[in-house]
A = this chain, B = another copy of it.
Amino acid sequence: MTEPVFTAPAAFLARRRALHAGLSGPALLAAGEPASRNYPANRYGFRAASHFLYFVGRPMAGSALLFEGGRTTLFTHPPDPEDALWHGPRPNLEVLAAEHGFDAVLPLAELDAVLGPIRATVATLPTQDAPSAAWLSERVGRPVLARTGAHLVDSRDAALADAMIALRLTHDAAAVDQLRMAARMSAEAHVAGMRATRPEGRESDVHAAMLAVLRRHGLDDAYGPIVTVHGEVLHSDTHANVMRAGDLLLADVGGETPEGWAADITRTWPVGGRFSTTQRAIYDVVLEAQYAAIAVATPGRRYRDVHEMAKRTIVGGLVALGIFRGDVDGLLERGAAALFFPHGIGHLLGLDVHDMEDLGDRAGYAAGRTRTTRFGDRYLRLDRDLEAGMAVTIEPGFYQVPGILGDARLTAPLGADLCRDVLAQYADVRGIRIEDDVLITSDGNEVMTSGVPKLATEIEALMRG
């Protein structure tokens, strides 16, 4: 295994200083509490809130970070002897402070006393779990609701959210190292997945092979892995289907580093090791759309234009195949793209796979921009002007979703220009998506996930090997 990369304390320190510079009052960020699965002691693997991880780099359940007057203090549970028995010895508070470069590390029990004089001015951000939201409410003396970052009613909290967005929207060098590591290891998982694919095997065989690579590298899942012969179900979460020689397998799988940074990769490959003529034709349309979108994902470009570029390329490709008839502009106008590509071209990537989606569209949409209500486009999660240091996914797709192609409200505007007799020849293409992680650089971009084959011929060669 490759040695994992860890962020140096100095990088965390620099981030904390940068937040201090962006704050006009004190701020309290909570790590959150573990969620119980079926009984209190049986918990999901704890994943701390990203705003906390950004400054600390390790999940410390129940802890909180106070920014005040230029000082950063970590409040955490002091080690206790029972811990040593069940969970191993933990460093004491002085050691933690020294290792992490906090100005102080104090027991959680002292937080209220410290907050006392500044309580009315403290900003905070909710975590995902209700118990720690309730805990935050008690600390700051006003309601803080879980999962509701999208609707920050308190102006202090909104200002803190904006300060966090300003920091996290473009990635520092340490963050880029983490993202590249997640990308590289996740790419390796996709290669293993291609190699593990056999006709008459199950999706779970491939899922298991990919997971094994991530876990060997110490990576958790950044999101629920999709490994399915039914790519047309966008968020399929079962892996029980038997794979047939003529099927395409769609795998949307990405790992998360121990410090919490995500990768997000999709590849679609032929179970039998060779694309059929029809599968290859559509695959090449999606791939062309991806290349075209990546080409325009550069500093200063509006992300919505990247989305439009992908739509245009897909519709153009489908016209060339005879699936659509007419001019591309008119077809786009009439909603042609969303019939086969009903989601957005991508999203921000960082500590969260949809980075800062806990803050709703506040991070993804620039001030003054909002989502459209139009089918397809309304799922676009990002509409900012791209800047060097941002990381985004680029993930066009083609899907034959019965619920869309059978919905007259969506297909009527196309009329006979949607050539269903031609489309019928492509019945062996249920769903294709090709997704890479792209770092915007000052002179263009860098595809961080280039370690996994993408050309149809490359994929076939790998699967034959």
Chain A interface residues toward B at CB < 8 A: 1, 4, 35-45, 47, 49-50, 81, 84-89, 128-131, 134, 146-147, 149, 202, 204-205, 207-209, 211-218, 223-224, 230, 233-237, 239-240, 258, 260, 342, 351-354, 356-358, 401-404, 407
| Identity of the chain B residue whose Cβ is nearest the Cβ of A43 in the assembled complex | B224
Cα–Cα, bound, A202→B4 (Å): 12
Task: State the Cβ distance, A459 to closest chain B Cβ, in Å.
Answer: 22
- Knowing A88-B233, A204-B215, the reply to whether A44 touches B35 (Cβ < 8 A) is yes
Write out the residue numbers on chain B whose beta carbons fall within 8 Å of the beta carbon of A358.
38-40
Cross-chain contact B211 with A215 (CB below 8 angstroms): yes
Cross-chain contact A87 with B216 (CB below 8 angstroms): no
Cα–Cα, bound, A34→B404 (Å): 27
Write out the residue numbers on chain B whose beta carbons fall within 8 Å of the beta carbon of A149.
39
- Knowing A35-B35, A224-B43, the reply to whether A89 touches B208 (Cβ < 8 A) is no
Cα–Cα, bound, A95→B194 (Å): 37
- Knowing A37-B47, A85-B403, the reply to whether A204 touches B218 (Cβ < 8 A) is yes
| Identity of the chain B residue whose Cβ is nearest the Cβ of A401 in the assembled complex | B85
Q: A42: which of B44, B353, B403 is its contact (CB, 8 Å)? A: B353
Interface centre among A42, A44, A211, A213 (most CB of B within 10 A): A42
Cα–Cα, bound, A89→B403 (Å): 9
Cross-chain contact A352 with B39 (CB below 8 angstroms): yes
Task: State the Cβ distance, A206 to closest chain B Cβ, in Å.
Answer: 9
| Identity of the chain B residue whose Cβ is nearest the Cβ of A258 in the assembled complex | B240
Q: A85: which of B47, B230, B342 is its contact (CB, 8 Å)? A: B342
| Identity of the chain B residue whose Cβ is nearest the Cβ of A201 in the assembled complex | B1
Task: State the Cβ distance, A420 to closest chain B Cβ, in Å.
Answer: 20
Write out the residue numbers on chain B whose beta carbons fall within 8 Å of the beta carbon of A239.
215, 218
| Identity of the chain B residue whose Cβ is nearest the Cβ of A35 in the assembled complex | B35
Cα–Cα, bound, A122→B42 (Å): 28
Task: State the Cβ distance, A379 to closest chain B Cβ, in Å.
Answer: 9
Write out the residue numbers on chain B whose beta carbons fall within 8 Å of the beta carbon of A215.
204, 207-208, 211, 239
| Identity of the chain B residue whose Cβ is nearest the Cβ of A358 in the assembled complex | B39
Task: State the Cβ distance, A261 to closest chain B Cβ, in Å.
Answer: 12
Known: A39-B128, A42-B354. 17 other contacts (CB 8 A): A35-B35, A36-B128, A37-B44, A39-B356, A40-B128, A43-B224, A81-B403, A84-B402, A87-B234, A87-B235, A87-B237, A130-B131, A208-B214, A208-B215, A211-B212, A215-B239, A218-B240
- Knowing A128-B36, A131-B130, the reply to whether A41 touches B354 (Cβ < 8 A) is yes
Cross-chain contact B218 with A212 (CB below 8 angstroms): no
| Identity of the chain B residue whose Cβ is nearest the Cβ of A82 in the assembled complex | B403
| Identity of the chain B residue whose Cβ is nearest the Cβ of A217 in the assembled complex | B204
Write out the residue numbers on chain B whose beta carbons fall within 8 Å of the beta carbon of A230.
88
Write out the residue numbers on chain B whose beta carbons fall within 8 Å of the beta carbon of A50.
38
Write out the residue numbers on chain B whose beta carbons fall within 8 Å of the beta carbon of A354.
39, 41-42
Task: State the Cβ distance, A34 to closest chain B Cβ, in Å.
Answer: 9
Interface centre among A39, A134, A230, A352 (most CB of B within 10 A): A39
Write out the residue numbers on chain B whose beta carbons fall within 8 Å of the beta carbon of A260.
38
Cross-chain contact B38 with A86 (CB below 8 angstroms): no
Task: State the Cβ distance, A119 to closest chain B Cβ, in Å.
Answer: 24
**Cβ contacts A to B, 24 pairs, < 8 Å:** A1-B204, A4-B240, A36-B128, A36-B129, A38-B128, A38-B352, A39-B128, A39-B149, A39-B356, A42-B223, A42-B224, A42-B353, A44-B44, A45-B224, A81-B403, A84-B401, A87-B234, A130-B131, A130-B146, A204-B215, A208-B215, A211-B211, A212-B212, A218-B240
| Identity of the chain B residue whose Cβ is nearest the Cβ of A147 in the assembled complex | B40
